[in-house]
Amino acid sequence: MQLYRDRKKQLRPFLSGIALSYIALDNMTSGPFREYLSQYFDLQEFGSNAREEYLYYTILFLGILQLVVTVQSIFLPVIEIIDSKIVLRTKEKVLSVVKDISELSTIEMKEDNFLQFTFSDKTYNVQIAEVSVAEIDALMSTVNMPEEE
């Protein structure tokens, strides 16, 4: 079982990443947007002003970072159950947390946006704001079924 973020909700950050990257690359290569801006502002060649150059490199970095994070959120599951293991993507850890389901004590809903997974040694919070409620209910029933038997 795999729970993904809603792909429709990832469209806005993806488009903002594309827009930021386009604006930066267009201004670096004297594209049509830079020509339009030069009608209203006194712009010299790109690179003649260090502040302008750093600004567009920063915008490009932010746009590419936004694209990478969005594409990663689209293709990587938030919660994944494989055989007897559970894989969680949390803000607390850079890499995914892999634990045995038998170590899982409780799953609790916190503040409508987080699921709190309590294991025998540690507690992890997983953000589920963009995951459908039906998938969360299916996860809860799947995880609780082995405990009832």
Interval 65-104: pLDDT, tens = 999 988 888 888 888 888 888 888 887 777 788 888 888 8
Q: Tell me, what's the pLDDT at 62?
A: 96
Which contacts qualify for 52-61: CB closer than 8 Å, 24 or more apart?
56/23, 56/24, 56/27, 56/28, 57/24, 59/20, 59/23, 59/24, 60/20, 60/21, 60/24, 60/25, 60/28
Q: Please report which confidence band the pLDDT of residue 144 belongs to, taking 50, 70 and 90 as the band edges.
A: low
pLDDT higher at 4 or 23: 23
Copy the structure tokens of residue 7.
Answer: 């792909």
Mean pLDDT, residues 142-146: 61
> According to CATH, where is 2.30.29 located in the chain?
79-148
pLDDT digits over 16-29, tens only? 999 999 999 988 88
pTM of this structure: 0.68
Q: Is CATH 2.30.29 the right assignment for the domain spanning 79-148?
A: yes
pLDDT at 6 > cutoff 70? yes
pLDDT higher at 146 or 46: 46
Residue 137 amino acid letter: D
Q: Are 105 and 92 in contact (CB under 8 A)?
A: no
Q: Looking at 7-16, 116-125, 138-147, which range is the least confident one?
A: 138-147
